[in-house]
Amino acid sequence: MSKVEIESFLKSFLLFFSSLGVLISTLFYLNYLKDVKVVDEQLFSQMRVCSFDLKCKEFKIDFVPIQKQELYKLYKSKKGLDSYFPILEVQNYYLNFHFEESKYQKKLSHIQSKTIQLYFATLFIIFILSILFSIYALYPLRSALLLTQEFIKDILHDFNTPLSSLQINSYMLKRDVGENEKITRIEQSIQNILALQENLKAYLFNYEQTKESLELSSFVEQRVKLIEKNFPDIVFNTEVPKTILEINKSALSRILDNIISNAAKYNKKNGTILIKYDKKKKLLSIKDSGKGIANPSKIFNRFYKEQERGIGIGLHIVKKLCDELKIGIDVKSELGVGTTFTLQLTHY
């Protein structure tokens, strides 16, 4: 299941389970109060019958002076239950029937135990029903997502032929007429389409399982060389010591390409980009002297962008890939000063 499917499943499950859980809990509580009331009424009825013949062993019987007690009423206290009844031809005393608190709690414990057992059995049934309901509700979404993914995969595959043709023809044209600003723009546009294609592939496929060995310093240099030729007015600096990582190479290249290319696109004229790796802390940082980001907390949201350029999915894909690879990512930015992205490579 994809991340969006898991999120949809959990939300459906929690909504259904919590709604029915609250309803069932309320019903069981009201039913418990009703059972307690029935026990109270039964005890009071027994006290009333006992007031005629005094033949009852479960109650303590005593004579109490008349004060403010109400007759034929059940009193509850920390000591237990009490009720008062008149004595024939006696005006100064009432009959007091007392039921001990320990005995009363024993009756209530029996009711509670029975109620709790039935409650959890019902809750378990609701749990199973919630799972089945969530799976059933998820099925149309899952089908639509699979259909969309297959459609995008087909489009990406069909891109290969025209893109290859464009690359070959631009190369041949460049060989025939030499360096030309228009040809350079065409090549940059082709590279942008290729980058978008790779982003879409990264969005569709999971990279977590496949790992390979790479040397970080040369890898970063390679990614920088591919990007810096499109930004001749930006100064790229790298401070990455030789380090071997066991990681998915394709996913890491997507992460770095997106961050570094954004640092170049939204930089100042004659700006700088510094890529630095702290081997001890396992922190890889990309710092630029660009325009800065107004809302750093929103940049990983899909389709969010603060500039007219782009479509707002690059950094969303970066966050998705970082989550898949268990790479921590942090961003700090100040308008007019620049932005720093930090990748925590603890697991590598």
Residues 6+ apart with CB under 8 A from 263: 273, 286, 287, 288, 290, 339, 341
Q: Which segment of 180-184, 296-300, 332-336 scores lowest on mean pLDDT?
A: 180-184
The Cα 209–Cα 216 span in angstroms is 19
| Domain 208-344 of CATH type 3.30.565.10 | yes
Domain ranges for the chain, please list them: 3-135, 208-344
Place of tokens 């001990």: 100
Residue-wise pLDDT tens digits, 228-250: 888 889 999 999 999 999 998 88
Query: What count of residues does the chain have?
Result: 348
Q: What is the pLDDT of residue 241?
A: 94
Query: Model confidence over 41-98: pLDDT tens digits?
Result: 999 999 999 988 888 888 999 999 988 889 999 999 999 999 999 988 888 899 999 9
User: What is the percentage of the chain residues whose pLDDT exceeds 70?
Assistant: 92
